[in-house]
Amino acid sequence: MTVSLPTTAIIGTGSMGGAILSGLLSPAVTVDGQIRVTNRSAAKAAALQSPAVISTASETDPRANLLAVTGARIVVVAVKPAMVAEVLREIAPALAADAIVISVAAGVNLTTMEVILPGAVLRAMPNTPATVGRAVTGLSAGTRVSAQQLALASALFETVGTVITVPEHQIDALSTVSGSGPAYVFLLIEALTGSAMRMGFTESDARLMVENTFLGAAELLAAGDLDPRELRRRVTSPNGTTERAIAVLEGAELGGVFDRATAAALARARELAAG
Ligand SMILES: NC(=O)c1ccc[n+]([C@@H]2O[C@H](COP(=O)([O-])OP(=O)(O)OC[C@H]3O[C@@H](n4cnc5c(N)ncnc54)[C@H](OP(=O)(O)O)[C@@H]3O)[C@@H](O)[C@H]2O)c1
β-bridge mates for residue 232, sequence order: none
d(C-alpha 109, C-alpha 125), whole Å: 11
220 plus 164 within the same structural domain:
no
Comparing CA positions, the residue from 65, 66, 93, 59 lying closest to residue 79 is 65
Mean model confidence pLDDT for the chain: 96
pLDDT at 133: 94
Atom of ligand 1 nearest to the CA of 107: 47
pLDDT over threshold 90, residue 216: yes
Residue 176 within a domain: no
d(C-alpha 61, C-alpha 57), whole Å: 6
Residue 254 within a domain: yes
Provide the H-helix boundaries in the chain: 15-24, 42-48, 64-69, 84-91, 110-116, 147-158, 171-174, 181-198, 203-223, 228-235, 241-251, 254-274
pLDDT at 274: 80
Residue 54 within a domain: yes
pLDDT at 225: 85
Atom of ligand 1 nearest to the CA of 90: 31
Q: Report the relative pairing of strands 161-165 and 135-141 from DSSP bridges.
A: parallel
248 plus 166 within the same structural domain:
no
1 confidence band (pLDDT: 50, 70, 90): confident
143 plus 45 within the same structural domain:
yes
Residue to mutate, 87, 104, 178, ligand 1, most ligand atoms under 8 Å from C-beta? 104
> If you measure from the C-alpha of residue 167 to the centroid of ligand 1, how many angstroms do you get, rounded to a whole number?
24
266 confidence band (pLDDT: 50, 70, 90): very high
177: which DSSP letter?
A: I
Domain count, the chain: 2
186 plus 131 within the same structural domain:
no
pLDDT at 38: 98
d(C-alpha 153, C-alpha 23), whole Å: 13
> If you measure from the C-alpha of residue 146 to the centroid of ligand 1, how many angstroms do you get, rounded to a whole number?
27
Listed in sequence order, the residues at least 6 apart from 254 whose beta carbon sits closer than 8 Å to its beta carbon are none
pLDDT over threshold 80, residue 205: yes
Specify the residue with its C-alpha closest to ligand 1, atom 4.
16
pLDDT at 224: 86
Residue 58 within a domain: yes
162 plus 67 within the same structural domain:
yes
Specify the residue with its C-alpha closest to ligand 1, atom 5.
127
Residues flanking ligand 1, CB < 6 Å = 11-17, 38-41, 44, 58, 65, 78-81, 83, 87, 104-106, 125-126, 128
Mean pLDDT of 101-124: 97
Comparing CA positions, the residue from 91, 94, 74 lying closest to residue 83 is 91
How far lies 212's CA from each of 32, 192, 209, 225, in Å? 40, 12, 6, 21
CATH number at residue 125: 3.40.50.720
Specify the residue with its C-alpha closest to ligand 1, atom 42.
14
Mean pLDDT of 172-195: 97
pLDDT at 273: 80
Specify the residue with its C-alpha closest to ligand 1, atom 15.
15
Atom of ligand 1 nearest to the CA of 57: 33
151 plus 67 within the same structural domain:
yes
Residue 22 within a domain: yes
> If you measure from the C-alpha of residue 131 to the centroid of ligand 1, how many angstroms do you get, rounded to a whole number?
14
**pLDDT tens per residue across span 122-131:** 999 999 999 9
pLDDT at 117: 98
**pLDDT tens per residue across span 37-89:** 999 999 999 999 999 999 999 999 999 999 999 999 999 999 999 999 999 99
pLDDT over threshold 90, residue 120: yes
28 plus 111 within the same structural domain:
yes
How far lies 152's CA from each of 102, 107, 198, in Å? 11, 23, 50
Specify the residue with its C-alpha closest to ligand 1, atom 30.
40
Residue 27 within a domain: yes
pLDDT at 275: 72
141 plus 49 within the same structural domain:
yes
Of 116, 141, 171, the position where a domain reaches its end is: 171
53 plus 164 within the same structural domain:
yes
pLDDT at 57: 98
> If you measure from the C-alpha of residue 264 to the centroid of ligand 1, how many angstroms do you get, rounded to a whole number?
25
pLDDT over threshold 80, residue 243: yes
Residues 197-210: b if buried by 16+ CB within 10 A, e if exposed: eeeebeeeebbeeb
45 plus 142 within the same structural domain:
yes
β-bridge mates for residue 165, sequence order: 139
- Asked if residue 114 lies in contact with residue 172, where contact means CB atoms within 8 angstroms, the answer is no
178: which DSSP letter?
A: I
150 plus 212 within the same structural domain:
no
d(C-alpha 207, C-alpha 120), whole Å: 47
Mean pLDDT of 220-246: 95
Mean pLDDT of 98-108: 96
Q: How many CB atoms lie within 10 A of CB 259?
A: 11
Q: Pick the more confident residue, 164 or 273.
A: 164
Residue 126 within a domain: yes
Of 146, 171, 196, the position where a domain reaches its end is: 171
pLDDT over threshold 90, residue 241: yes
Domain span including residue 240: 181-274
pLDDT at 154: 98
Of 171, 200, 221, the position where a domain reaches its end is: 171
pLDDT over threshold 90, residue 121: yes
How far lies 79's CA from each of 68, 88, 258, in Å? 15, 10, 30
Residue 110 within a domain: yes
**pLDDT tens per residue across span 131-171:** 999 999 999 999 999 999 999 999 999 999 999 999 999 99
89 plus 219 within the same structural domain:
no
CATH number at residue 223: 1.10.3730.10
Listed in sequence order, the residues at least 6 apart from 121 whose beta carbon sits closer than 8 Å to its beta carbon are 100, 101, 102, 103, 110, 113, 114, 142, 144, 145
